[in-house]
């Protein structure tokens, strides 16, 4: 079987429409948009969702599948992050000169 060089492989992939996107490399001191960096490293929303789906369906451990489902629910807005109701804390301070050292609420009347 003859060996293919990388340019031949890239040409075949380009013709088929599945060529990987080129990596974005920023010159030193120049900023590149985060979205461009994510896309160039195959971290586009589409790729990430495909990975999440794969983990949900075929992960080896239950904890990995559960975390993938949890992430999917959060992305769909079905599982809110901060859904807890903050219960107010009330402190009652009773100052009475007759009972200086003991809280009068604790003394039976």
What are 26-58's pLDDT values in tens digits? 667 778 787 877 787 777 888 888 888 888 888
> What total number of domains does the chain contain?
1
Residue 17's pLDDT band (cuts 50, 70, 90): low
Report residue 102's pLDDT band, with 50, 70 and 90 as the boundaries.
Answer: low
pLDDT at residue number 99? 60
**90 inside domain:** no
- The tokens describing 26, both together, are 């920023």
Q: What was the pLDDT predicted at 31?
A: 80
What is the Cα gyration radius of the chain? 30
User: Other C-beta atoms within 10 Å of 109: how many?
Assistant: 3
pLDDT for the residue numbered 47:
82
Q: What is the pTM of this model?
A: 0.46
**pLDDT tops 60 at residue 1:** no
Does a structural domain hold residue 29? Answer: yes
The answer to whether residue 10 is domain-embedded is yes
In a domain, 88, yes or no: no
Domain hosting residue 61, numbered range: 6-82
Which string of DSSP letters, residue by residue, matches the chain?
Answer: -PPPPHHHHHHHHHHHT-PPPPPP-PPTT----HHHHHHHTT--HHHHHHHHHHHHHH-SSHHHHHHHHHHHHHHTTSS-SS-PPPPPP-------SSSSSS-GGGS--
Distance CA 85, CA 53 (A): 32
Asked, for residue 59, whether it belongs to a domain, the answer is yes
Tell whether 69 is covered by a domain: yes
pLDDT tens-digit series, residues 51-94: 888 888 888 999 998 998 888 888 877 776 665 677 888 887 76
Q: Is residue 93 domain-resident?
A: no
Provide the 10 A C-beta neighbour count for residue 19: 13
Q: Is residue 106 part of a domain?
A: no
């Amino acid at each position: 079987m003859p060996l293919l060089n990388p340019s031949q492989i890239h040409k075949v992939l380009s013709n088929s429409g599945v060529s990987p996107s080129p990596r974005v490399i920023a010159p030193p001191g120049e900023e590149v948009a985060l979205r461009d960096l994510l896309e160039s490293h195959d971290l586009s929303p589409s790729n990430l969702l495909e990975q999440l789906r794969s983990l949900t369906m075929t992960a080896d451990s239950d904890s990995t599948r559960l975390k993938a489902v949890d992430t999917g629910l959060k992305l769909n807005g079905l599982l809110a992050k901060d859904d807890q109701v903050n219960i107010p804390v009330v402190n009652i301070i009773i100052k009475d000169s007759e009972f200086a050292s003991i809280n009068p609420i604790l003394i039976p009347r």
